[in-house]
Amino acid sequence: MSLSSSAHPSPADARVLAEDLPEGKPFHANGSTLVYRRLGPQSAKQNALPLLVFVPGWGYDGRILLPLATPFARRYRCYLLDLPGFGDAPLPPEHWGTEDYGRLCADFLRDLAKAEGVERLVWIGHSFGCRVGIRLADLAPDLVERYVFLAAAGLQHRRSLLFRLRIVIYKALRSMARSEAARERLRERFASTDDRAAGALRPVFRRIVAEDLSAEASRIGQPVLLVYGDKDTVTPADDLGLRLSRAIGGSTFEVLPDFDHMNLLSDGRHQVAALIDRELSADHVSPR
């Protein structure tokens, strides 16, 4: 996967980070595979500290979160995940939804906690990684100590009149199409950028964006930190973010000025790290 996005560190920083990045290792369960990379100390003396699991958004692998994770790895054990279909992880065996991703992650975290000898896990997800985190919290409510959701998705967007009109036009044109080829051309013309780019994962993408996790979010009992950029148009803080914060009782809702959906992870990583550091534990160990 290309890392030439504005969300990534500068070329010099990227080279330094890439040199220290370990090779990904597979985790297999029930016919599916995710890939993980471990950063941080090896010493068992760190067992009192929580273990941090970084989970990327749709279309990215764990390396997108490396600039954010790296300072924490000085003291904390950190895991960067490639979910099925992204990075080095193979495609999911079927047309998965977030429940399937959540079950695989629950299996992984149980094995991880046992292997590392820890009881404290923190889930740090971005966008789609938050959808999976919401599912995980519902499927395995006692597995993770706390959640950090960055630019979180998971609720249905409030669609504009223009968007709804496009859907009406698309359905009308599709009903008049005389061949499957013509219908496919219409799908490509009216599809979103992410939908067109999904490739073999298109059925998975369409299933996931159709899900509304309001009920699951309302059942989360662990502490949750929600962080958004005020320039985010993918998961707007003043709409989706605010509604999700209200759905998750007792959550902490933070909006950082001048950051969008992606540069929250790069240009905004120091501010995000400070918020995560505040939430991590009673030890308040600073990653900086």
- pLDDT tens over the chain, length 288 residues: 222 233 333 333 433 455 568 899 999 999 999 999 999 998 656 668 899 999 999 999 999 999 999 999 999 999 999 999 999 999 999 999 999 999 999 999 999 999 999 989 999 999 999 999 999 999 999 999 999 999 999 988 665 555 445 555 646 666 676 677 766 665 566 455 666 667 889 899 999 999 999 999 999 999 999 999 999 999 999 999 999 999 999 999 999 999 999 999 999 999 999 999 999 964 444 443
Which letter does DSSP use for residue 97 in this model? -
Q: Could you tell me the CATH number of the domain that includes residue 48?
A: 3.40.50.1820
For 90, residues 6+ apart whose C-beta sits below 8 A from its C-beta are 33, 84
Same domain, 63 and 178: no
The H-or-E segment that residue 247 falls in is helix 242-247
Same domain, residue pair 37 and 134: yes
Q: How far is CA 265 from CA 8, 133, 230, in A?
A: 8, 18, 13
User: Coil, helix or strand for 252?
Assistant: strand
Whole domain around residue 190: which residue ranges? 159-200
Q: Is residue 122 part of a domain?
A: yes
Q: Are residues 114 and 17 in the same domain?
A: yes
Statement to judge: residues 165 and 227 lie in one domain: no
Q: Say if 285 falls within a structural domain.
A: no
Q: What is the pLDDT of residue 179?
A: 78
Q: Are residues 27 and 87 in the same domain?
A: yes
> Do both 110 and 94 map to the same domain?
yes
Residues 187 and 230 grouped into a single domain: no
pLDDT of residue 16: 40
Number of domains making up the chain: 2
- Alpha-carbon distances, residue 58 vs 61, 183, 195, 224, 250 (angstroms): 8, 26, 11, 21, 27
Considering the domain architecture, whether residues 66 and 142 belong to the same structural domain is answered as: yes
* Distance in Å from the first CA to the final CA of the chain: 29
